[in-house]
């Protein structure tokens, strides 16, 4: 996250940071982010980031990144937002996630339409282009084997 923030700042880009007070207190906050929003908890952080965002992109990271990604992805599935979600699969880092989602579709735990709500690309420019041309789809029923009423 810090390296990405440094690159945005170096290029003169706009950057908004959202961080819980507990991490600021541990001196983890990026000191050069001009618009740093300090919130009370990780839950508040995710809610504010979702509110401020036009789209969501996950770069390679750890379990916190996956938790954040799957929360907004789930919100898209439930129709709580209609913002595009993307996964930048750098050097195959997220191949296992892509394989898992395909497996969930084949095992009928996930609809293909829902799987497609998460755009997975290896090329950053292509992913950004897909995010720009994203057209929200109608919310599809979550359950596969239930009759529609």
**Which region among 23-37, 74-88, 118-132 has the lowest average model confidence (pLDDT)?**
23-37
User: pLDDT for 83-137, tens place per residue?
Assistant: 999 999 999 999 999 999 999 999 999 999 999 999 999 999 999 999 999 998 7
State which fold the 54-132 domain adopts.
Answer: Rossmann fold (3.40.50)
pLDDT band at 12 (very low <50, low <70, confident <90, very high): confident
Helix (H, G, I), strand (E, B) or coil at 138: coil
pLDDT score recorded for residue 58: 95
Mean pLDDT of the chain: 89
What residue ranges do the domains of the chain occupy? Answer: 1-52, 54-132
């Amino acid at each position: 996250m810090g390296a990405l923030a440094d690159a945005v700042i170096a290029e003169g880009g706009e950057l908004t940071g959202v961080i819980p007070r507990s991490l600021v207190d541990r001196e983890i906050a990026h000191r050069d982010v001009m618009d740093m929003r300090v919130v009370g908890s990780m839950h508040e952080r995710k809610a504010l980031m979702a509110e401020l965002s036009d789209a969501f992109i996950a770069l390679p990271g750890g379990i916190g990144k996956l938790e954040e990604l799957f929360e907004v992805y789930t919100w898209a599935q439930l129709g709580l937002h209609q913002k595009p979600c993307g996964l930048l699969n750098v050097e195959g880092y997220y191949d296992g996630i892509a394989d898992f989602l395909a497996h969930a579709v084949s095992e009928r735990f996930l609809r293909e339409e829902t799987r497609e709500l998460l755009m997975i690309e290896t090329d950053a420019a292509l992913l950004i282009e897909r995010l720009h041309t994203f057209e929200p789809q109608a919310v599809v029923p979550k359950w596969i084997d239930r009759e529609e009423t």
